[in-house]
Structure 1
Amino acid sequence: MSCLALSLQPANGSDILLQTREWFPPACALVAVSSFRETRLAFAASKHHHQTTSSSADSIASLGDDPLAASSGQLIVGVESRFRVVYRLVNSIYVLGITTADHDNSINVFECIHIVNQAVSVVVTACRGVDVTPEKLARKYAEVYMALDIVLRGVSNIRLAAMLSAMHGDGIAKMVHSAVDTENKIRGAESWRGLEVLAVDHDVAIAAFNSTAFELPPETIAAGDEVAASLAPAVQGDERDQKEVEEEIEAEKDPFAASEKINQPPELVDGFKKNKDPSAADLQLALATLDMTQLPPAEATQSTHIAVEGFEGKYGGIEFLDEKQASLNEAFEGFSDAWGGGLDASEFVGTKKEKKSEGLGGLELLQTGPDPPKAAAAGTPLEELVGKTEMKGPEMNIVEEISVEFRESLLARVALKGVVYLKTLPTKTSGDKETEFSFKVEGTSAVKRFIMQNSRISNLGNGMFHVRTAASDEPLPILKYSLQPRLTPLPLRVRLVQRHTGSLLSVMIQYVSNPELPAPLTDVTFVVQLPLDPTLLKVSPKAVLNRSEKELKWHVPEIPLNGPSGRLRVRMPVDSNEEDGGEEIEVVAYVKFSWQGNRSLSGVSLRPASEGVADFYEVNHRYESGVYMCN
């Protein structure tokens, strides 16, 4: 699903054709195509300006031809929603392929280039050569439209060749409806009618072979007995074993008779009696036949000594790994997933995430304050038995993730993503019965875009949706949405102030809660990324220092809704280097929180399609922080 749209744009004039996928909005494609045209015209204007001037600096800046006048290339356009446009110039027509501008290699750009090359083949075939003009395309507009629609969804080289051959001959019907037969003919595959006859003959042959019996002549059997006797001669002990078996059978004829074996002395193998007092010679003889394992030296059993800067100790022979997090430039360069990225239907994957391993990297267990309160999720066994109730029907809830970036006290950017999860009855309870019901979504005035999983849910219009899916033991994501940045509510406003006077760095974090939240935030964690490893710290209130990660953490049990703003302070000495040009030290703060309740942060709610009918049960919604930072 790398290519989202295809477009034909002449060098001069209006666009000829725009073909998009079903779930990709045409408005977004038009924005990308228009941005490409503006960029192309801007490059052409700047090139003409540089050719008319005689400045040496301008001539150096405009070395080479216009990059958009080349035969092919790529260009990233857009400001808020960024797209990558792959283009090829055929005569005077640009063939454009539009995809998202990814920064985590989640989009296969080469597949998009391959689709653009196939579209170029369609255009050249429709115009009977490379002399492609809008007039020639208009004559074969229907064939080009249907061919690009098929190419956008992915075709093989065999199917493409058959489509191109049928463009000027059999027409659209042959192009669209002969996919399977065409590939079978070209590959030389048999049709099902021919294969069915061969399958029946094969089954009849197997049945006849199973019913056939083979008889060996007596001479062959006698020769086999002679060969077996020569290979495995009779052992003398066979007669003794046969006698013992016969005696055991005779002795055990009466199952209720007393056995005489209890009066016999205990014996080992081959008649050796058990000796309770073994002599020293017997022990030496027995030990001589055993391979004694060499014990490791005493130094190998001692714990490994690990020395940490400013702290020494023995940690019991364990190797400790230090996992470095991604730098800030990698996390916020460009348009990452935390800030939107264009909701893609391919994001409907499993929700399991690997738990990050926690190791003793430095001073994680040394804190200057009391232990933070543990989450009350795990109750006593009696509470778990009493609190667990069976599901009455399918359950739905909303999980939202909000990402915010503050620069001092100003809001730089914000993004909120929400996912609607459906939990059906377990497979043991429902069996093969499908889950089917309708519901409606309210409070969507601030939603920017919706996507849905077409295999499980369909849109009925006016905010109504219909669900039909098989039973599953895991929650299923069926809807995803994102909010408009200007209408996104902020659960917490954060401000970071730093002062660097001489060799002393002072940092203060101010935070205040949104009074319109459904409930106050609890168990909020503030993390400050220190610029260097501190030698001396003064914090207020008490915090936890992770020296390996250069992080300082505060745990706030609860932030009241209408309370005063809270303050977190830290002061540390730093080495001031005037030779560095007076570069400013950058300090970044992160906030982590999570809340669960009966309403969502964005105001989006789920309701039954008809009042008074409980098609599903709404459980607690949850919202949490994504990349919530201040710098």
Structure 2
Amino acid sequence: MSCLALSLQPANGSDILLQTREWFPPSRALGALSAFRQTRRSFAANKNSAPEDAYAAESIGDDPLAASSGQVIVGVESRYRIVYRLVNGIYVLGITVADHDNSVNVFECIHIVNQAVSVVVTACRGVDVTPEKLSRKYAEIYMALDIVLRGVSNIRLAAMLATLHGESLAKMVHSAVDTENKIRGADNWSSVEVHSLEHRSGIDAFAGATFELPPETLEAGDEFATTLAPERPEELQQQKQQQEETPVEKDPFAASDAINKPQELMGGFNKTKDASSTDLTVALEGLDVTTLPPPEATQSTHINVEGFEGNYGGVEFGHEQASLGEAFEGFNDAWGGGLDPSEFVGPTKAPKPQGLGGVELLQTGPDAATKTDKGGAGTPIEDMLVKRTEMKGPEMYVSEEISAEFRESLLARVGLMGVVYLRTLPPKTAGDKETEFSFRVEGTSAVKRFAMQSSRVSSLGNGMFHVRTAASEEPIPIMKYSLLPRLTPLPLRVRLIKRHTGSLLSVMIQYAPNPELLAPLTDVTFILKLPVDPTLLNLSPKAVLNRSEKEIRWHVPEIPLKGSPGRLRARMPVDSSEDDEEIEVVGYVKFSAQVTQSLSGVSLRPASEGKTDFYEVSHKFESGVYMCN
């Protein structure tokens, strides 16, 4: 569709004229006109900042709505694109839908608006267009815009503009076909109809006529046709054999001449110097020749599940070429992408479980007795389980928990608590021997407070510590520390934006990772606490709704370190009675990661170089109260 409605709106005052299509409600057109008027006033009041109902980025021109022509998108729930032209204080508006899927021909809508401007200028006898002049020719302008809205050629538009001040209104409306024929020089149907009837009668007369040829002509044609058809090689051989036969009687007991001939595989092939294609076609008559499959049959076949957002698996054979979703990545961009079940359900078969599947233990045959009699109780479970890598010595690692609170895009509070853990050799291996060694802590420039467990750790000064403890099965926390807020690194910045217009609540969460992280964050969960239980909910990308807890959960598999910020959107209707109250929406983030270096920069080193008193394993950090409101 190109244009839904045409309207004349003065710069100051109420609308003069509104012309819509039959199936487009005038109430929606009036809503779009009201939004356009608010947009104009908002830009006039403050040209530097765009209003809420308009999208300045999608308007055309250096100064939107100040130029003589352009286009702008208005509306929130129902968005419309308005193409406008300003003629002496009168806006000529063309209303159409916003073309998200490229289904609207904007240039055709602009062409219709230009034709409407021609009608208005002609009716006012110049560019001095005023509401008073428009009221004098209101009926002619109304009918002319009605014709223009449904599509009119330039020839008929010129004829309409010529008769706008002269002849009657009915002649301008109903003289479409004759006017175009006169201007183009074409004949009327009344003058051409006589020739059409004569042509049709001639066709019927020739269709019913029959012609009889004399038999002499038919015989001459058959004789000539026999000279054109080539004779087959088999018929030529038979004719030669008949000519070579003599009336001499043959000896019935004489040897056959086939003994002296070489043995042929198939027979019937005449080896001549010029191998013509007729011999091959004659030899292949009656044989079923299997044609080769087309080249598309050797490529991967993918059967897509249509009608849903994204690629939901389907049936896939082969991986030589990209599937349909990978080849056209832009198709999923209209819906925002999101969680794709094909990432988790692929065409590969699930591996068969090995060990302890339940079938291995059901040995009822004669082999079962021989297997159990040798060992007494069969294979022990300890041998079937995967054994953990044996510890070479004591291990130490850092576990940190970071909490942050964002208010829109500003960081309100932040805090990081770290714990240094010691994992000793198990009591079975170490026995009664105590674990005792010295170590030093580096990277403590950002530490605000340091506390240690005095029963196991003692300070030697200058960042050196000595630990002495008995063996334990579980990791032992020996030190705790906190960082200064201004020196605390943030792994993820989060921003929550809320907009409440009318009965519609729109919420968006933006997130961007810290590019200085050593590894990207994986398995990040975003939780949005809702003020009410929504009846209708629009999410982008897809998420999980928990109605009992009134929360939405987004799961992001991986956040790349470099790239554009991610967006999570939710839109829902709320009760109109809650407009006076401020609606509170809070978002939480949960994440955890295993890293080779701690997030705060704190590292553990041996007391002396070249001596391995302990082993530093992978550190980890996780989110505490990580929220945005």
User: Which interval holds the TM-score relative to the shorter structure?
Assistant: 0.3 to 0.5
TM-score by length of 1: 0.40
Whichever of the two has the greater Rg, that structure is 2
